[in-house]
Amino acid sequence: MSEIKITLPDGSVREYPSGITAHQVAQSISEGLARNIIAAKVNGQVVETSRPITTDANLTLLKWEDKEGKNTFWHSSAHLLAEALEALYPGVKFGIGPAIDNGFYYDIDFGDHKFTGDDFAKLEAKMLELAKKESAYIRKEVSKAEAIQYFTEKGDQYKIELLQDLNDGEITFYEQGNFTDLCRGPHLPNTGFIKAVKILNLAGAYWRGDEKNKQLTRIYGITFPKKSELDAHMLMLEEAKKRDHRILGKDLEIFAFDDDVGPGLPLWLPKGAAIIELLEGFAKKTEKEAGYQRVKSPHIAKESMYIKSGHLPYYKESMFPPMELDGINYYLKAMNCPHHHKIFAATPKSYRDLPVRYAEYGTCYRYEQTGELFGLMRVRSLQMNDAHIYCTKAQFEAEFKAVNELYLKYFKVFGIDKYVMRFSKHDPKKLGQKYINAPELWLETETMVREVLVNSGIPFIEVEDEAAFYGPKIDIQIWSAIGREFTLATNQVDFAQADRFDLYFINEKSEKERPLILHRAPLSTHERFIGFLLEHYAGKFPLWLNPDQVSILPISEKYQEYSEKVLNVLKKSDIRALIDDRSEKTGKKIRDAELKRVPLMLILGEKEQTDNTVTVRKQGGEDLGSMTIEAFVEYVNAEIEKQLN
Ligand SMILES: [Zn+2]
Ligand SMILES: [Zn+2]
């Protein structure tokens, strides 16, 4: 039998007989590993662990911890859900059942039966009972005629409809236990991997998203390989509900939406605007120290620029429709990059000027479907912490490293302890089609990117064949304090735009040379980042970032004058404070300051007035005792200094 070479993600190469499966490869490494392999990625394609490998291949063994592993796990769970439903409610008809970010769903036509929340427990129990049978997911290639016949006999019109769009030779069935589904795969080795099940909720969903069609019941669920992981997830969901940025944003008067302004267009209330100013101040200072220059660009531009940049026609669906002026179409900008390229081109550049780093908190406008809009997380107007770096190839590594260090600095300041960088690379076979045809540049930059990531000790994963058309990219995934995952931003290398915009600098040999471009936005957009921070901090913004740092609480109106004196000292020291001069009891004032998440409270009465002091109470109840006003100012400044460094 012929031998094939299997290259593992760490670069090691092993030889195996042709026809080996990923499961067997895992076994040859260790039995423990083999038990935990959910699926395999062979030359960029995710397949079952039982699929024979017959050519030299790059192989990644996917575990639960991997995104594609979870995806396979949850999609397989949708099949298990369907098997359980068919056992409980014979005759139900099935739409589609994909994995989603956190779990999976299946669209079901229950006929006359009314499926409700009361049925969840029964369904979960059935799924677990079937999972215990450890039924293998068996792949079968079938002809279109056979497939149609099978579902015609079963009376599953939705599957027949799906089959109409498929061709002979690409149709597969998957069978586990008593259930057969039309599916492309891949799936788990067997149902026994699924150890914990939770049905989450129900929604109505029109078949194929078309409201002219019948409304099916969409059942959302999630599954885990361990019961303890399900428990932790449910706890996290409960906490996430309390920290919902849409509710906190309203309660804390940070942002609002208004019908007359339009969906997805947030209004920033004074407190929200204060947070934005503070974030920008911090970012601008950091960027200035890192050698960035600030630029400004208009919110609209002519169609011709977006044709040049390639946004039109490819990105057209994500842009607002054009507006016509003097017979010319103008578009609201969806990205700042083209504007910055024009700024680069506006003055001649020599190699001595590089690297050039242009930064702008640019407002962009993107069209998101109404149904996709979600609080601050999915919006139509966004203020981006954007910058573009133009550098020579020799400068690339240092620039890329500096950008990564910026990310790490921000993670530290915002208390983001868990993060992963997802490094997306090209596929050499697709050069000139999916990827710009610059083989050496791809290899060089990818090698440099990897070196920087390895040397800085940043956790990262490499993914094949997911780069942008114009260069390798890094998506940054972060986790909030309660363990929910967010995709923060991307950091991209760009070989294409310099060409499109004819950007060049004069090199040491007095020749024109194209710069490399880096796109980066570590703090994402104000919308997404503040949405994240609301959850992450549960609304308790740290002292440096809190719109109200200090609440002054006179215990009666006798101390109003002294309170104003304290307020003035704080104001002069740039500390944001307010006086709660309502004629409420002190206890009530403290509770309200707690609800507003004010970090520090100053309680002022007879003793404080006489001694010219303040009594300090921290949010949450810690008593810092009494101190002079000057000592308090010093304390605040020292705390902020600590938080920002
Ligand atoms: Zn499937
Ligand atoms: Zn850009």
Complete DSSP assignment for 257-274: --TTT-TT-PEEPHHHHH
Query: How many angstroms is it from 66 CA to the middle of ligand 2?
Result: 28
Calculate the CA 636 to chain-centre distance.
34
- Angstrom distance (rounded) from CA 101 to CA 243: 19
Helix pair 120-131, 67-88: axis angle to 10 deg = 110
Query: How many angstroms is it from 49 CA to the middle of ligand 1?
Result: 14
Output the CA torsion 136→140→144→145 (10° steps): -90
Instruction: Decide if 76 contacts 187 (C-beta within 8 A).
Output: yes
Number of residues written out for the chain: 645
Instruction: Decide if 186 contacts 69 (C-beta within 8 A).
Output: no
C-alpha dist (Å) from residue 101 to 65, 72, 147, 486, 623: 14, 12, 30, 11, 43
- Angstrom distance (rounded) from CA 503 to CA 345: 6
Query: How many angstroms is it from 176 CA to the middle of ligand 1?
Result: 10
Query: How many angstroms is it from 495 CA to the middle of ligand 2?
Result: 12
- Angstrom distance (rounded) from CA 145 to CA 96: 20
The number of the ligand nearest the C-alpha atom of 490 reads 2
Query: How many angstroms is it from 38 CA to the middle of ligand 1?
Result: 14
The structural domains of the chain, ordered by start, are 3-63 (3.10.20.30), 68-227 (3.30.980.10), 251-536 (3.30.930.10), 550-644 (3.40.50.800)
Query: How many angstroms is it from 185 CA to the middle of ligand 1?
Result: 5
Query: How many angstroms is it from 292 CA to the middle of ligand 1?
Result: 49
Query: How many angstroms is it from 102 CA to the middle of ligand 1?
Result: 17
Classify residue 171 as exposed, middle or buried by CB count within 10 Å of its CB (0-12, 13-18, 19+): buried
In our burial notation (b when 16+ CB lie closer than 10 A, e otherwise), range 437-448 reads ebeebbeebbeb
Per-residue pLDDT, 458: 87
The number of the ligand nearest the C-alpha atom of 517 reads 2
The number of the ligand nearest the C-alpha atom of 385 reads 2
Query: How many angstroms is it from 102 CA to the middle of ligand 2?
Result: 29
Instruction: Decide if 198 contacts 221 (C-beta within 8 A).
Output: yes
Instruction: Decide if 472 contacts 436 (C-beta within 8 A).
Output: no
- Give the HSE-up count for residue 385: Cα atoms under 13 Å, Cβ half-sphere: 30
Instruction: Decide if 188 contacts 194 (C-beta within 8 A).
Output: yes
Query: How many angstroms is it from 386 CA to the middle of ligand 2?
Result: 7
Give phi and psi for 412, each to the nearest 5: -65, -50
C-alpha dist (Å) from residue 459 to 109, 405, 484: 44, 13, 17
Classify residue 78 as exposed, middle or buried by CB count within 10 Å of its CB (0-12, 13-18, 19+): buried
C-beta neighbour count of 107 within 10 angstroms: 23
Query: How many angstroms is it from 488 CA to the middle of ligand 2?
Result: 15
Query: How many angstroms is it from 228 CA to the middle of ligand 1?
Result: 26
C-alpha dist (Å) from residue 89 to 78, 123, 169, 175, 200: 16, 10, 32, 19, 19
Query: How many angstroms is it from 565 CA to the middle of ligand 2?
Result: 49
- Angstrom distance (rounded) from CA 186 to CA 74: 11
- Angstrom distance (rounded) from CA 500 to CA 514: 11
Rg of the chain's alpha carbons, rounded to an integer? 29
Query: How many angstroms is it from 519 CA to the middle of ligand 1?
Result: 37
> What would the two tokens of residue 282 be?
């911090």
> What would the two tokens of residue 232 be?
């932790």
> What would the two tokens of residue 332 be?
């609201």
CB < 8 Å & 24+ apart, contacts of 585-588: 586/553, 586/555
Strand 381-391 versus strand 356-365 pairing type:
antiparallel
Per-residue pLDDT, 495: 86
Query: How many angstroms is it from 425 CA to the middle of ligand 1?
Result: 27
Query: How many angstroms is it from 80 CA to the middle of ligand 1?
Result: 10
> What would the two tokens of residue 477 be?
């995934």
Query: How many angstroms is it from 186 CA to the middle of ligand 1?
Result: 6
Closest CA to 7 of 42, 52, 47, 40: 42
The number of the ligand nearest the C-alpha atom of 520 reads 2
Q: Is the dihedral of CA 157, 160, 162, 164 positive or negative?
A: negative
Query: How many angstroms is it from 16 CA to the middle of ligand 1?
Result: 29
Query: How many angstroms is it from 399 CA to the middle of ligand 2?
Result: 15
- Angstrom distance (rounded) from CA 555 to CA 323: 59
Query: How many angstroms is it from 388 CA to the middle of ligand 2?
Result: 6
Which DSSP symbol is given to 321?
A: P
Query: How many angstroms is it from 67 CA to the middle of ligand 2?
Result: 26
Mean pLDDT of successive 10-residue stretches along the chain, which has 645 residues: 88 93 94 93 92 94 93 97 96 95 95 92 97 96 95 94 92 95 94 97 92 94 96 91 94 96 97 97 97 97 93 87 96 95 97 97 92 92 96 93 93 94 90 86 90 88 86 92 86 90 96 96 96 95 97 95 96 96 94 96 96 96 95 97 93
Query: How many angstroms is it from 294 CA to the middle of ligand 2?
Result: 15
The number of the ligand nearest the C-alpha atom of 297 reads 2
The number of the ligand nearest the C-alpha atom of 519 reads 2
Contacts of 545 (CB under 8 A, 6+ apart): 275, 278, 279, 533
Per-residue pLDDT, 435: 87
Give phi and psi for 244, each to the nearest 5: -50, 120
- Angstrom distance (rounded) from CA 530 to CA 572: 28
In our burial notation (b when 16+ CB lie closer than 10 A, e otherwise), range 258-284 reads eeeeeebebebbebbebbbebbeebbe
Helices (H) and strands (E) in the chain, counts: 20, 35
The number of the ligand nearest the C-alpha atom of 99 reads 1
Query: How many angstroms is it from 300 CA to the middle of ligand 2?
Result: 16
The number of the ligand nearest the C-alpha atom of 339 reads 2
Closest CA to 539 of 252, 340, 260: 252
**What SS3 class is residue 586?**
helix
The number of the ligand nearest the C-alpha atom of 384 reads 2
Query: How many angstroms is it from 4 CA to the middle of ligand 2?
Result: 42
The number of the ligand nearest the C-alpha atom of 362 reads 2
The number of the ligand nearest the C-alpha atom of 137 reads 1
Per-residue pLDDT, 91: 92
Closest CA to 384 of 520, 533, 547: 520
- Which residues are paired to 174 by β-bridges? 139, 181
> What would the two tokens of residue 245 be?
């940025």
Query: How many angstroms is it from 108 CA to the middle of ligand 2?
Result: 42
Per-residue pLDDT, 1: 61
Query: How many angstroms is it from 182 CA to the middle of ligand 1?
Result: 7
Classify residue 455 as exposed, middle or buried by CB count within 10 Å of its CB (0-12, 13-18, 19+): exposed
Alpha helices by DSSP H, listed for 208-336, are 227-242, 245-251, 270-289, 303-309, 311-314
Which DSSP symbol is given to 428?
A: G
The number of the ligand nearest the C-alpha atom of 518 reads 2
Query: How many angstroms is it from 365 CA to the middle of ligand 2?
Result: 14
